[in-house]
A and B are shown apart, each in its own frame.
Chain A
Amino acid sequence: MYGLGRMGITHLSHTQGYMLSKGLNCKFDIIDPSLKTMRFRPIRKNINIIGRSSIHDITDYDYAFITSPPNRHNENLREAIKVSKKIFIEKPAVIAVETKQQITENFPDRKIYVGYVLRKNLCVQKLKDLCNQLDDYEIHIDLQSNIGLNEVSGWRSKLSSGGGCFNEFGSHVINLFQYLSVKTIGAVNPIVMEDSRFDIDTGQGRLTGNWCSDVRKSMYHVRIVSKDTTYYSDLQYIESENGYYFNPRQLTSVLPYYMRGLDFALQSKDFLEGSIDENDFYDALTTDTLMAKVLG
């Protein structure tokens, strides 16, 4: 595991919880420069902080998790592909073209998943099915975050320093747009691009985001507009003007281990069980490209 911050701890906990529910034990080696003083002894009986040089002693890790800051993803992925066949990268991918080429040529059997967790949302999957039945449609996605610009400090608050709301959650919005779109995405033109909000015209609809802080938790509003009807979803349920209604709570859903919401639990379970759609990784790389295009 590369990085034991908020998401590192979450993935460690979920992975171990899942394994324990199956009667399996697991051992973790963590690479985290901020914990280098802890390399001396195990921090728990099955958790070691190791140096980067030690990783090459073991070349058959069952899984690798890249949960470091995004600017370290590429370097960590280049290392992880040599030691593990299943690799999870937290979003955004931020992977160089040369790395993608290296994977395609030398490590084609690697299963890599980027944590665009909304793809596992049951409403999003249902919306995808509905989109597949439509001839032509527009996609409008609006995301309002519960964290205001004034609550975020340092580099995270400024677009110019790699933060701002677009870098913080724009990748989720763009990746979701890609997932729901059946067309090759051409234009992504920014209309507004500020530290606190963004508004992008895609030619197939609008993508907007806002650090508004007056909602309890992040809220997605997705509208699929076709000539016959408009589907609306807040990713908790779907409804349409012509009476369609879907709510995942109408379904039976049993998981071996549950944590941090159904989308996250499903994502982790699928990754651990190897149910990975390889297109998701390449879509995540396209998300990188589209984000770069938006930011000019």
Chain B
Amino acid sequence: MKLILGDNQFFGVNHSNLAKAEAYRHQFSEPAVVESFIKGARELGVDEIFVSTHPSADDLVSFCNASNVKIHPAIPYAHAMNDLAAAQGVVRLIVQRFRPSHTDLFKLILSYLLGNGLFTPKSTVRRFVNSELNLLGKIDNKGTLFLNNVFTDLIIGAGCIEFFQYFTSVAKELGYKPGFVTYNYNFFQNNKFHDCALCVNYNLRGFLSPSFDEVQELKKCYEVSVMGVMGSGIYDFDEVLRDLNRLDPFGVVYGTSRLERLKKMKEELK
């Protein structure tokens, strides 16, 4: 089981306590503190990290490159997309991030005029992925390229399944394993995407989480990692560790602001 360092703490995120989130933000406001944490994690043997395309993620990526940490980018950064859509409108967002190539634009118009409706062209997916990855700068040690849950789940609902097919293809072309973060794991159980990774929220209480058995089923088709295992710090650490060792996922994404917690997690996970 791999231990993958989460990035929430570096960007001041805690989903269960906004005051803690602000405390994280202050703790990691200096790049030197982030750099030291990454080095410390590397010394503990934690050599993989999950990085969202947060506006200030480029420093984090540089420190990870310097320590030869494998990076799993998660795109897009949902808050930035939502804020952009709120401030500038959906049309401008689409033009900025999803503009298709001229050939695909012609195909889109033709498809529409023939009554076949609009579709997601591959050039659109490529532009979107490239523009998001550019926010992170150069990545030396490439892992899995994840589509984050807000976007994955929006696309599932919108019914644009072709987006996922093109995403897997574009990710592979760029040297990444394709992956999806999702809360709607049943969709991926019913629609198989080969050679992909999944990252799902998982916890002991069943709060927006698949059951133990459902994870076992998902593991038959996907490289399954779990996140949110500590419930932003409200679950019992030892109980969570026992459960994870029984669950045996491919990876555990764990964000913490304390190296000693990371050390304990690393030592206890089988």
Contacts and interface: CB of A to CB of B under 8 A. Distances in A.
B16 A237 contact: yes
Interface of A: 5-6, 9-10, 12-18, 20-21, 34, 38, 40-47, 146-147, 151-153, 156, 215-217, 219, 234, 236-237, 247-255, 257-260, 262
B153 A151 contact: no
The 10 A-B pairs at the shortest CB distance, nearest first, are namely A17-B157, A13-B157, A252-B206, A258-B183, A249-B231, A234-B18, A259-B153, A6-B85, A44-B117, A13-B158
Interface of B: 11-13, 15-19, 21-22, 25, 79, 82-83, 85-91, 112-118, 150, 153-159, 183-184, 186-187, 203, 205-208, 231-232, 234-235
Nearest to A18: B157
In this complex, which of A6, A45, A152 has the most chain B Cβ atoms within 10 angstroms of its Cβ? A6
A172 B111 CA distance: 42
A234 B19 contact: yes
Contact of A16 (B113, B157, B231): B157
B231 A17 contact: no
Given A216-B21, A216-B25, A217-B79, A247 B157 contact: no
B258 to A, nearest CB: 20
Given A41-B113, A237-B17, A250 B234 contact: yes
Given A6-B86, A6-B90, A258 B153 contact: yes
A253 B207 contact: yes
Given A17-B184, A249-B207, A254-B206, A41 B117 contact: yes
B207 A236 contact: no
Given A236-B16, A247-B234, 20 more contacts: A5-B90, A9-B154, A10-B154, A13-B155, A16-B159, A20-B156, A20-B187, A41-B115, A41-B117, A43-B112, A147-B87, A156-B87, A216-B13, A234-B18, A236-B18, A247-B16, A250-B207, A254-B208, A257-B184, A258-B183
Nearest to B159: A16
Contacts of B89: 5-6
A262 B153 CA distance: 13
8 contacts: A13-B156, A14-B157, A17-B157, A20-B157, A147-B83, A216-B13, A247-B234, A251-B207
Contacts of A13: 154-158
Contacts of A10: 154
Nearest to B112: A41
A249 B205 contact: yes
A212 B183 CA distance: 31
Contacts of A258: 153, 183-184, 208
Contacts of A153: 87-88
A43 B158 contact: no
Nearest to A251: B207
B150 A260 contact: yes
A17 B87 CA distance: 26
Nearest to B83: A147
Nearest to A48: B117
B15 A236 contact: yes
A115 B22 CA distance: 28
Contacts of A262: 208
B11 A253 contact: no
Given A41-B113, A42-B115, A216-B12, A236 B17 contact: yes
A257 B231 contact: no
Contacts of A44: 117-118, 159
Contacts of B158: 9, 12-13, 16
